[in-house]
């Protein structure tokens, strides 16, 4: 069993990744389960920069393998915002509700054809020495709805409509989301190389 630290306190992300990882090969541990975890400041201007920071700094501090990801929503009509600020879009005390309310407010007068958006997930793996060993990225494109719909998922999921499904992430079940989400797509690229490393018991190159 390969123990891997997931560089987040977000229980929803932990649940999603645990569902996608093979439980017989990988044991995921979240930062919430560790007493000595580091609070890494997300000072990057891109998802890659933030994911790298969270993986490398945490790995060096804990002296363990760390998988970190940074993800968010980019809205075309807002020139890519909220982007890396997705979790704190409505301020330091932001909640999913306040972020969704602010997004709807900013898009109130934007017509449907200009409400395109995409989710991005950037995954980075660091070894215990703080060397970045693997990075992958996944995207999922959709449209921002005019009101929340569905109770599944988290973040902007109740507003993010997947055109080919005619439903929001909030309405789609976890099985469908695991197949088409930005996080699932990034992990599908990541897993083959990572599992090959576990099988061969040698560093990822």
158 marked as binding residue: no
The response to whether 13 counts as a known ligand-binding position is yes
Check whether 182 is labelled as a binding-site residue.
Answer: yes
187 vs 21: CA distance, rounded Å: 9
The rounded distance, in Å, linking the Cα atoms of 14 and 18 is: 6
Domain boundaries defined on the chain? 2-200
**What pLDDT is stored for residue 203 in this prediction?**
46
What pLDDT does 155 receive? 94
Q: What pLDDT sits at residue 201?
A: 56
pLDDT in tens, the chain (205 residues): 899 999 988 887 788 788 878 888 889 999 999 999 998 988 999 999 999 999 999 999 999 999 999 999 999 999 999 999 999 999 999 999 999 999 999 999 999 999 999 999 999 999 999 999 999 999 999 999 999 999 988 999 999 999 999 999 999 988 888 889 998 899 899 988 888 877 775 544 4
Confirm whether residue 100 is marked as ligand binding. no
Q: Of the candidates 195, 125, 117, which has an alpha carbon nearest to the alpha carbon of residue 163?
A: 117
Is 2-200 a CATH 3.40.50.1860 domain?
no
* The pLDDT value given to residue 142: 97
| Res 197: pLDDT | 78
- The pTM of this model reads 0.88
Residue 154, marked binder: yes
b/e map of 1-17 (b: 16 or more CB within 10 Å)?
A: ebebbbbbebeebbebb
Strands 66-75 and 26-30: unpaired
Catalytic residue IDs:
70
């Amino acid at each position: 069993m390969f123990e891997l630290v997931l560089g987040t306190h977000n229980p929803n992300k932990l649940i999603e990744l645990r569902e996608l990882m093979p439980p017989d090969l990988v044991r995921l541990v979240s930062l919430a389960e560790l007493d000595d975890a580091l609070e890494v400041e997300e000072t990057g201007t891109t998802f890659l920069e933030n994911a790298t920071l969270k993986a490398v700094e945490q790995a060096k501090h804990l002296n363990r393998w760390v998988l970190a990801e940074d993800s968010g929503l980019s809205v075309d009509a807002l020139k890519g915002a909220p982007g890396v600020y997705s979790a704190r879009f409505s301020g330091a005390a932001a909640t999913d509700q306040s972020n969704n309310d602010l997004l709807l407010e900013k898009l109130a007068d934007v017509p449907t054809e200009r409400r395109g958006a995409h989710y991005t997930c950037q995954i980075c793996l660091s070894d215990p020495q703080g060397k970045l060993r693997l990075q992958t990225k996944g995207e999922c494109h959709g449209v921002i709805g005019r009101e929340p719909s569905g109770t599944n998922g988290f973040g902007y999921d109740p507003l993010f409509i997947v055109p080919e499904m005619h439903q929001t992430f909030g309405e789609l079940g976890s099985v469908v989301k695991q197949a088409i989400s930005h996080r699932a797509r990034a992990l599908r690229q990541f897993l083959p190389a990572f599992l090959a490393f576990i099988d061969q018991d040698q560093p990822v190159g």
